[in-house]
Structure 1
């Protein structure tokens, strides 16, 4: 691949890594797509090895984030419906309050849903904290998968 092509792939990987953190768009899938484009164009044993490592890392992270977060929320007694409604209010918040509306809306949404469900401030707040921790866990897991894919790509760049 040409230097310009590698630069474009690198920029796409960077955009994907940011997306893995901010969770507004599918960052790890963008990283994976960019790395796969590089792998296909590069070809050979190095390209296909990088492709396999990237796919395995991103798929395992995708599965892992749902398993670990789901288990964490189940132990905390927070139903999936709460997260869905909290996420919906987060999307509304994204448009109402620039920059910080998504997390503010998510936290407020989870709190309000849990307050309505549990009728107790302390229990609703504990559920909200658990939901925020689970969200942080999913971000870390997705970022780890994207970073492993990125690391494989960087090693592939150095080898070729």
Structure 2
């Protein structure tokens, strides 16, 4: 069994994904932009626990899809992200964190603040300018979470492992 770390993401509806991907292509340094836009829930779950992680993600996805509110634009110092808020995201992540507590890295034990990074690794002045521009035109809006994604970290790029759609109809 592979020991490369596993990454868990929240999957967003196609329209939201396309919007964040466009922003990322436009503002992320091309030589560093190896990934689609994403909402990371866990950064490094040990790969040797793949079977348990898969089972836990399948169980966590046994729920209706839900709304996630894009609440603002965050300045990251050398980048910019859109902040997200959803009690459902917090509940799903909290349940998984409890199940995986012995395996979690210090980063994955920290308070979780869901976001989508659309720019990173740029000079602070460039990030500040984008932050101010996006903030000036920002109005909160809703996107829909469609499931959970599982990836294997390969030292930079990510390899898709599987997706776990929220398969019950939203109420």
Taking structure 1 as the reference length, what is the TM-score of the superposition? 0.32
Q: Which has the larger radius of gyration?
A: 1
Point out the structure with the larger strand share: 2
Point out the structure with the larger helix share: 1
Question: Which of the pair has the greater relative contact order for Cα pairs under 8 Å at 6+ separation?
Answer: 2
Taking structure 2 as the reference length, what is the TM-score of the superposition? 0.31
